[in-house]
Each structure stands twice: as C-alpha cells, then as structure tokens.
Structure 1
Amino acid sequence: MEFRKRIEELLHTFLAEREDLFLVDLKFSAADDITVILDGDNGVSLQDCLDASRAIEFNVDREEHDFSLQVMSAGLSEPLSTPRQFRKNIGRELDLLMTDSSEITGELKEVGEDKIILTLKYRKPKEIGKGKTDVVEDREILYPDIKKALVTIKF
C-alpha cells in the first residue's frame, strides 16, 4: 500500500473511534514530513494529539519508510475551514475576509452545510436629519465567498 494512503487510512481509523475529533488538515512534504492538524467539538488536548500520533507511528514500520510526524490542534490564529469548525464557534465574533477583499465582522448565529449567518451590528446615518442610528441585521454568507475566517480574540 502506498505510504500516504496508509497514513490517511490510519488517521481516519483513529478519528472514527474518536467522533469528538475531526481532521482540519493533513500535509505531506517532499521529505515525508507529515503534519496533522486536528480540532474537536470540545477542543483538543495534548493527550488527543499523543493518541493520534501513536495511532500512526505504532502502525508504520520506520525501517520500511522514514518520516517525521507532527500532530497539533488548530490554534486560535488558524482560519476556520470546515462547517464543523464554524458550528463549534456559534455565538462568537468572527472576522471574515471575503473573496472580493471586503471585510465583515459579526457574531456567528447559524451554520449550514453551504452557508453561515452572521449578526452584524453597526451604525449608519439617519435617513432624515443628523446623527446615526444603530442597525442589527442578519446576513447570509456562502462558504465560497469567504477567503479567510478568524475567531475574534477578546481580552
């Protein structure tokens, strides 16, 4: 069996046993440096990363194929990429960079298979008279229109 397919198979077997975890990214370099990025519905612990690493390393013969392996959790600075990652962040504020280079910030309200709904809060000029008025609106955003989505970090 091809080396990369074997790694993917071992990883998917591990994730099938751990339904709370899911794969965000799997990268192979030309020198067979493997990077696995995991996320979980309730976060990812160090033990989760160790378990995933062992599920791969203990089932591949290093004498047959030399490789390095890194298993890590998706950090706060990592963009959201799957509906499951968006779903876990419902109620949090997101900063979106759109494919048309515009930026949108809002609270994640709903997550679907093909779109998200953000609640936007902003001020706009009154139609009559001076001053501004507060506006709260829900906006549907399709995944293909999102270039990058980050959770806003507040201290």
Structure 2
Amino acid sequence: MATADSVRPVLEEALDGSALVLDEVTVSPAGKRRVVRVLLDRDLGDVDAVTEPTAPLSLDEVADATRAVGEALDASDVLGELPYTLEVSSPGVGRPLTLPRHFQRNVGRLLEVRTADGETTGRLVAADRAGLTLEVAATKKTSARTATVPYAEVDRATVQVEFARHDDPKES
C-alpha cells in the first residue's frame, strides 16, 4: 500500500511554483479504496519574522490545487491500481501548532499556549524563527503584558475560535 512518504514527493512536485506548500499528507484505507488527505498552506517563503496576518486560502486556490494534485496522482503510479478518494483542505483551527511556519501563518489570532510554567492565552503579534510573541490581555488579578515564548518551551499551542473580536477595526 502507498504511504504518505511515497506520495509526498509527487504532491510537492505538483504544487511547485504555486503559492502553496504541502503541510501534511495521510493515506488511509477505507474499504476497497484509500483516502488521501492533503493539507495545504500558503507559502510564506523563507522569512525571518511575521508581524502581519496572513490571508487564508481561498476556495479557488484550494480548487486549483486539488486539480493539480489529482492530475499528478493520476499520472503517477504511486497509488497503484486501487481507487482512492482525494480530500484537499487547509489546516483547521483546532489543529495544534507545531512548526514555526504554523505560528507565522496565525499572526493576529488568539492562541492558547501551554508551557511547563502553565497556560497563557493571548493574541499572537509576532512569530520568528526562534519563538512567538503574545499580547496577553489584562485580568482582574494581572495587568496586560507581552509574553515571548521560545518554540522549544511550547508543549502545546492551539488557535482559539473567536466569533467576534472586540478590537477588530471592521467591527467599529
């Protein structure tokens, strides 16, 4: 059976030259077929630091990538003769942030970051090669502050869902 490691080079070649990067690929059995799940993200390039929000992928970008990836898989023999179902999307908000580029693409969003010292929730205002910077809102017991956390100290980090941002200029 084809594995994610054998499919990855085919997908990366199909996306070469696009503004997208392959974030993750999984191949799993589903009855008489397989499901190939592909997670894509915007290619930020080789940047030192990100301080501005990154635009999310549009439906047109995902559709174009789906066509390119599907054609590449069909043209190669990496999946063999068994049929497959292709699912292409961008990473969801509940997915843990594990790589510097995951943090860089989420600048401007509210994060919950767990370290050995505890949990901190704050707005991600910058992400560079070494760590992230959060603006932590004031509470009844603490004043507002800025927290810088090296990636090596992050045990878990996730984006928090916000239905309405209080500081969003579009809401004013």
The TM-score with structure 2 as length reference comes to 0.66
2:70 paired with 1:57: yes
Distance 2:25 2:41 in 1: 12
What is the total number of aligned residue pairs between the two structures? Answer: 144
The TM-score with structure 1 as length reference comes to 0.72
- Structure 2 regions of 5+ residues with no counterpart? 43-53, 164-172
Distance 1:5 1:71 in 2: 17
CA-CA distance at 1:3 after TM superposition: 7.0
Change (3 A) 1:91 1:35: same
CA contact (8 A) 2:15 2:68 kept: no
Secondary structure of 1:122's match?
coil
1:1-155 paired onto structure 2 within 5 Å: 7-19=7-19, 21-29=20-28, 32-40=34-42, 41-59=54-72, 60-61=74-75, 64-66=80-82, 67-98=84-115, 100=116, 102-123=118-139, 134-155=142-163
Deviations 1:98-123 (A, max 9, x none): 3x382110121221112111122334
- Structure 1 regions of 5+ residues with no counterpart? 125-131
Which aligned segments of 4 or more residues in structure 1 are displaced greater than 4 angstroms?
Answer: 2-6
- RMSD of the alignment, in Å? 2.9
Percent identity for Structure 1 against Structure 2? 27
Distance 1:101 1:25 in 2: 30
Larger Rg: 1
Deviations 1:7-43 (A, max 9, x none): 3223212332212x22222112256422111122421
CA contact (8 A) 2:57 2:90 kept: yes
Q: Give the structure with the larger strand fraction.
A: 1
Distance 1:43 1:111 in 2: 17
CA contact (8 A) 1:11 1:52 kept: no
Change (3 A) 1:30 1:73: same
